[in-house]
Amino acid sequence: MSKQYLTVTALTKYIKRKFDADPYLERVYLTGEISNYKKRQNHQYFSIKDDHAVIQAVMYKREFSRLKFQLQEGMKILLVGRVNVYEASGNYNIIIEHMEPDGIGALYQAYTDLKDKLAKEGLFSAPKKPLPVFPKKIAIVTSPSGAVIRDIMTTIKRRYPIAQLVLFPTVVQGKDSAPDIIKNLKKINEANEYDVVIIGRGGGSIEDLWSFNEEKVVRQIFSMDVPIISSVGHETDTTLSDLVADVRAATPTAAAELSVPVLADVLQHIQNQKQRLYQVMRSMFAVRQEKLNRLMHSYVFRQPNRIYEAHMLKVDQSTTQLQNEMIKRVTEAQHRYQQTSLQLRNVNPITKIRLLEKELQDIDGDLHVTMKRYLLEKERDMVQLMQSLDFLSPLKIMTRGYSYVTLEDQVVNSIQQIKVGDYVNINLKDGNVRTEINKIEEKKHV
């Protein structure tokens, strides 16, 4: 009996059909530890292992994008998938359809990851804006139908009824809640007319409160110019919005109490301050009155002339010093005058003036003689120059029988400038002659 041999492809296809048809392998719930993980652009390929075995895993892009936490090497996970045989290599793997961290939910893991990220950026440790002591206008971001708004309105009306409350009806749960929260917060910020904002909702599961853990919501709260009081969930629930807000309240009622003072307490405080101010002013008045009485009975008012006695003595002393100083200066001036007069008598200025007049006359005579000699020399030089110019004058030369020829106001100095038939001017010393050129002879060079 001959044996039938299968091809590798046929065997692999048979094994794949077995895997695909097995109901136990069609939907597998698996726990293990992530190994050989490196994030890729599209589909993710890594391993799932425990202490004794390893299986290859594939997670397609669509399923991977739905994860609410970050995969990490060595993370323990719970997954749902199906076992598959890859025919080209004959290997089997598990195709993951859903995955969450082992021991904690995916939302909690996402919460922890985002919390760590925002904490590193400093959103939670940034300085908080102080709440106003006496707010005039309060914005409330919550559902219009929940118990939150009723608690807040009741509390503020009881404590501080003069505050104006403005409700911004907001979806606080579900897929549309985060955009709605952000939209209303931006509207409040742009209005620039609110003193404080209360944001919150009642208690619920982490899924119900997840809108207040969304990164966009947290960043919008952080960017607000108005102080924000966050009251999300019960006292044991803590969202990222609570951490980034300026004040966190355990309940909506607590948020309302934090936002406003008690008007009766404020009025009582004002009354107490008024009484205290009155008492202080009365005490100060009594002290001032007593001081005034002492001053009125002092010697200044009883014997006012005593105020001036010491000053009058100083005036007399100063007057005496001034007189002595003036006498001293006058005496010194008289002494200097006598010395100067004596010096002037010893040096007679009339003799010096006469000598200077004689010296001036001599200098004046010398100046006249020198100027006359200088002018004669310049006159003689000018005559010589005029004679030289006269000798060089063209008119002087023309008196000896010379003339010059022009053609159309241009001096002719070559036969190349004229031709037979041209009319030229012959310029003489006493007039011009116009003549026609009948013949031109070129001078022959020897």
Phi, psi of 160 (to 5 degrees): -145, 70
Q: What is the CATH number of domain 131-261?
A: 3.40.50.261
Question: Which pLDDT does position 180 carry in this prediction?
Answer: 94
* The two structure tokens encoding residue 218: 């947290």
Nearest to 142 by CA among 229, 250, 207: 229
Same fold, 8-103 and 131-261: no
Q: Are strands 164-169 and 137-142 parallel, antiparallel or unpaired?
A: parallel
**Residue-by-residue pLDDT tens, the chain, 446 positions:** 567 887 888 888 888 888 877 877 888 899 888 888 888 888 999 999 888 888 999 999 999 988 877 888 878 888 999 998 888 888 889 999 998 887 655 667 788 888 999 999 999 999 999 999 999 999 999 999 888 899 999 999 999 999 999 999 999 888 889 999 999 999 999 999 999 999 988 877 677 788 898 999 999 999 999 999 999 877 667 889 999 999 999 888 999 999 999 988 889 999 999 999 999 999 999 999 888 888 777 766 777 776 777 777 888 888 888 899 899 999 888 888 888 877 776 666 776 777 788 888 888 888 888 888 888 888 888 888 887 777 777 777 777 777 888 888 888 888 888 888 888 898 887 888 888 888 888 877 65
Whole-angstrom CA distances from 380 to 41, 372, 377, 424 are 114, 13, 5, 44
How far is Cα 446 from Cα 440, in angstroms, rounded to an integer?
19
Could you give the maximum distance between any two Cα atoms of the chain, in Å?
174
**Residue 270, Cβ density class (10 Å: 0-12 exposed, 13-18 middle, ≥19 buried):** exposed
Q: Give the CATH H-level superfamily of domain 8-103.
A: Nucleic acid-binding proteins (2.40.50.140)
Q: How many CB atoms lie within 10 A of CB 232?
A: 29
* The two structure tokens encoding residue 134: 């006496």
* The two structure tokens encoding residue 152: 């807040």
Question: Which pLDDT does position 105 carry in this prediction?
Answer: 58
pTM for the full model? 0.48
Please report, for the chain, the start and end positions of each structural domain, with discontinuous segments joined by +. 8-103, 131-261, 263-297, 404-436
How far is Cα 319 from Cα 95, in angstroms, rounded to an integer?
118
HSE, side-chain direction, 13 A CA sphere, residue 183: 11
Whole-angstrom CA distances from 241 to 105, 211, 246, 270, 349 are 20, 9, 10, 36, 109
* The two structure tokens encoding residue 405: 């020829």
How far is Cα 229 from Cα 245, in angstroms, rounded to an integer?
6
Nearest to 170 by CA among 136, 190, 137, 197: 197
Question: Which pLDDT does position 70 carry in this prediction?
Answer: 83
